[in-house]
């Protein structure tokens, strides 16, 4: 049913779709097709279970596929787009791939091969490198068994994601039934992983799912708004505006949200939401709180009316500097300093809170001179910290 000539096109359509949805697609991976006889000897040599129709090796970045399978296209989506993307671009996948390549390097050195191996090798256990090799291998095997559900769950999820887009969902469920019959208990873990991913996607959306796995975050404003909708759920409607600030490649997504809901902030390792209730926002901007004026003046509107945001900025620029504002920034500096003391020296928290305290203090100094710097970077540049 599959003619080999159509595969490159199937790959490029799927790549284009992933690029469109997530801004990424496999770039280092390739795939290799094997006819029945060669496939059998490959899985025998690799000690893979009978009935296996595809596998992916992080060390070679190759998806190995049985060309005669009726599920070839799905296997391609699973191995090449699922595992390929995971091992190339996700945080955990990259870590696992790096360890696997290290193993391959050591195997090469122990055996004296000059190319990377993709089968199971007989290694000389008296070789001086062997203990180190075993250590890395056990470590990787530990991660493998620990992460099996995530790694397989993601690949099946991706297989389903692409099969849905390219009208192969029926075939996908047919394959699931077949795999359950073929691999019984072992396939249950993949299936459970897949269900978890489906539930997660349903609750939090596909972008949240990808970012949670540590994939590069290539977002648009629409995606940021979707993240906010997923996070705030029925409280989303209370948001007055949301700004994206502190934009750096490969860093957290920093959002500043002003809402009618009470102030509370959120951080999950990649999404940092600084959330203020509108009255508190107005009070703190009136006092030239540098922690609030900074996102206001450096951020970009991703949700809400820009005219409203501009109005708030103008208010700050027009407002008079009062003794209250100076005292307030000094008080904030002292508070931060006390908090910094609670953290151990040289910790990230200590460093951050100390810098924050200093920023408030320098801000107070400028306000005293009648100057509004409003932006942290400007203060830091002026005072060299
Ligand atoms: Zn798999």
Structurally, the chain folds into a number of domains equal to: 2
The pLDDT value given to residue 1: 46
Q: Could you tell me the distance, in angstroms and rounded to a whole number, from the CA of residue 82 to the centre of ligand 1?
A: 8
Q: Are residues 51 and 82 in the same domain?
A: yes
Q: Residue 47's pLDDT is what? A: 87
Q: Which of 152, 179, 212 is the C-terminal boundary of a domain?
A: 212
Q: How far is the CA of 179 from the centre of ligand 1 (A)?
A: 11
pLDDT of residue 122: 65
Domain that holds residue 99: 4-212
Task: Judge if 30 and 131 occupy the same domain.
Answer: yes
- Specify whether 46 is located in the same domain as 155: yes
Q: Are residues 280 and 195 part of one domain?
A: no
Kindly give the distance from the C-alpha atom of residue 80 to the centroid of ligand 1, in angstroms, as a whole number.
10
Same domain, 248 and 183: no
pLDDT (tens, 9 = 90+) of the chain, 385 residues, equals: 445 559 999 999 999 999 999 999 999 999 999 999 999 999 998 889 999 999 999 999 999 999 999 999 999 999 999 999 999 999 999 999 999 999 988 888 887 765 555 555 667 778 888 888 889 899 999 999 999 999 999 999 999 999 999 999 999 999 999 999 999 988 999 999 999 999 999 999 999 999 999 999 999 999 999 999 999 999 999 999 999 999 988 889 999 999 999 988 999 999 999 999 999 999 999 999 999 999 999 999 999 999 999 999 999 999 999 999 999 999 999 999 999 999 988 898 899 999 999 999 999 999 999 999 999 999 999 999 8
Distance between Cα 84 and ligand 1 center (Å): 10
CA of 91 to the centre of ligand 1 (A): 18
Ligand 1 centroid distance, CA of 195 (Å): 15
Last residue of a domain, one of 189, 212, 235: 212
Domain final residue, candidates 212, 239, 267:
212
**Short-list 57, 78, 53, CA closest to 160:** 78
Same domain, 208 and 276: no
Q: What is the CATH number of the domain that holds 312?
A: 3.30.460.10
**If you measure from the C-alpha of residue 223 to the centroid of ligand 1, how many angstroms do you get, rounded to a whole number?**
28
Q: How far is the CA of 108 from the centre of ligand 1 (A)?
A: 26
Q: Is the Cβ–Cβ distance between 342 and 315 less than 8 Å? A: no
CB 240 within 8 A of CB 259: yes
Q: Which residues pair with 55 in a beta bridge?
A: 64
Considering the domain architecture, whether residues 173 and 233 belong to the same structural domain is answered as no
Instruction: Tell me, yes or no, whether 101 and 194 share the same domain.
Output: yes
φ, ψ (nearest 5 deg) of residue 276: -125, 140
Are 315 and 233 in a shared domain? yes
Report how far ligand 1's centroid is from the alpha carbon of 147 (Å): 12
152 C-alpha to ligand 1 centroid (Å): 5
One domain for residues 147 and 200: yes
- Check whether residue 188 and residue 231 sit in a common domain: no
Q: For residues 99 and 155, state if they share a domain.
A: yes
């Amino acid at each position: 049913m599959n003619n080999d000539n159509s595969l490159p096109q199937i790959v490029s359509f799927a790549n284009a779709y992933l690029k469109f949805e997530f801004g990424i697609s496999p770039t280092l991976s390739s795939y290799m097709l094997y006819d029945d006889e060669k496939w059998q000897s490959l899985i025998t040599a690799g000690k893979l279970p009978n009935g296996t129709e595809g596998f992916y090796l992080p060390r070679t970045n190759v998806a190995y596929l049985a060309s005669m399978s009726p599920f070839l296209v799905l296997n391609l989506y699973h191995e090449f787009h699922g595992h390929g993307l995971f091992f190339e671009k996700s945080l955990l996948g990259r870590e696992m791939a790096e360890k696997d390549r290290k193993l391959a390097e050591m195997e090469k050195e122990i055996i004296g091969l000059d190319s990377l191996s993709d089968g199971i090798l007989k290694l000389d256990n008296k070789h001086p490198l062997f203990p180190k090799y075993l250590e890395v291998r056990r470590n990787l095997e530990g991660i493998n068994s620990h992460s099996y559900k995530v790694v397989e769950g993601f690949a099946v999820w991706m297989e389903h994601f692409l099969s849905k887009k390219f009208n192969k969902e029926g075939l996908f469920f047919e394959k699931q039934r077949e795999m359950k019959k073929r691999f019984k208990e072992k396939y249950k873990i993949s299936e459970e992983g897949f269900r978890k991913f489906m539930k997660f996607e349903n609750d939090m959306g596909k972008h949240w799912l990808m970012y949670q796995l540590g994939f590069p975050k290539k977002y648009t404003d629409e995606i940021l708004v979707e993240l906010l909708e997923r996070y705030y759920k029925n409280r989303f409607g209370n948001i007055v505006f949301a700004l994206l600030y502190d934009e750096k490649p490969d860093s957290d997504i920093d959002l500043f949200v002003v809402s009618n809901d009470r102030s509370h902030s959120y951080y999950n390792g990649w999404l940092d939401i600084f959330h203020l209730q509108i009255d508190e926002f107005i009070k703190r901007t009136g006092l030239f709180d540098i922690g609030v004026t900074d996102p206001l003046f450096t951020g970009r509107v991703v949700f809400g009316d820009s005219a409203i945001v501009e109005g708030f900025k103008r208010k700050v620029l027009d407002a008079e500097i009062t003794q209250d504002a100076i005292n307030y920034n000094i008080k904030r500096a002292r508070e931060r300093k006390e908090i910094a003391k609670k953290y151990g020296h040289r910790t990230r928290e200590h460093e951050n809170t100390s810098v924050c305290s200093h920023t408030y203090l320098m801000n107070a100094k400028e306000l005293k001179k009648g100057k509004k710097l409003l932006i942290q970077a400007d203060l830091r540049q002026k005072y060299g910290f």
